Structure 1
């Protein structure tokens, strides 16, 4: 039925009341046992969760901060047995203490749920990876509510119905530090990429497999995102040495992933590494090891770690 984790001292009451973490194996039984755990801080379930369940959780456990409904994390494949998307707009989280919401691969989550999530007033981490039904309208709803003033991490990888029009709204998220747009399709281009560069709080960015992101985006990021520590550009085939060299004078970048990118030379990497003194790690495709001269590889390795 459940798995309990992280018990605190039981000196203040029955043992069942002091558990802060709970994994639910049979959500239909929630009304039978959840009242015994009013102090829950974290709840996880990989089975179907209905609106009724979620509202019951919000009412019964007012201190809950982490709600993990990630289907694929447990089963390894997406499926239809996930969060009930029929009425998600009443998720019941707008006035809760929720700081983390993981709905990865809950493929029935659609735009109707975004308004409720957008009105959450304490959410810091939102994971919507693989929620295929999300569109530009959903992103606009996320960015127009209280969420835009608190969210620090947003993962919308594999949401391939979005385009530049939706990505433009993300500029409203004034506290965003980590953003994942990997595999969001052909309609996310430099228009969206340059708009993202306006978020000066960004520290971690994933653009992997966005093949229409090019040097224009990298130049904008290098110029406007002084706090950027990590950027992943795996499979961004339009990027060239000019874009990479734009980071030669960056003061914060530590990790750069360029696997499956081929339109640059070893000399480009060497120039960038010599200028970017904070860089600690570059990830390249194994095939690139054959055409980057050994002497250049050795020179780069003096400044940062090369991974293949």
Structure 2
């Protein structure tokens, strides 16, 4: 099987992430077979998919005709006949192991099984599977139907063909996959986010700036350029036409001094309370639903710019 021959996808777990995947798969013209242990799955999916379809169209994400969605009474029924399985269960190792083992028993021998886990190691999740060679990481970012990034990795028992097939399949859907050569807790992007957010919290807790100004500094400073070219290529341009070597010669000592001075924030009770207060002040009375609506109104336009102009 190749990524081009994947026609049927099972979505196991239809919470926030799973529903986004289901919408994207159907939008791409695939037959989607969904299952979730929660009652009322079919009605919940039906109520959310129309809005997600509008998001996909607004973001200019390429679609294809013929996509279908069916909701099944059991995990086994959902994965029957699937070429690719996207698992989206709770972030608990014991549940991941149990769910992936059940999928492995029921899925066709050729099917690749991907987990949306945000931090767990594939080697640990695949350990209860009889055929662990087809289990990979396929971690999206929220909202999963729109955000381009998918982190792909294999575990100790994963075959290299499964990783490459998953990468190609996600790319076919319009995603921008990255492949980890080695497993690390939190994968790739979450670790980068954790490093940035640790310093952001340190600056707020230390009284250097408000949460709003920390967010503004990132939003209107590095974020637009990093969105288009990332940190390495952006700094490659930071010393004129001389490139990264000149940038490191000119600013390397400055960065080293900054790294040596970065904070080591701890999320103790006092720090957590400060972060909550600062964040609520920054929200200026807007509810989380209102903030989400603001984000989702702007995100499709930003993604269209990325698809047209991003360097990577």
Q: Common fold, TM-score beyond 0.5?
A: no
Normalising by structure 2, we get a TM-score of 0.29
Normalising by structure 1, we get a TM-score of 0.30
- Which of the pair is proportionally richer in helix? 2
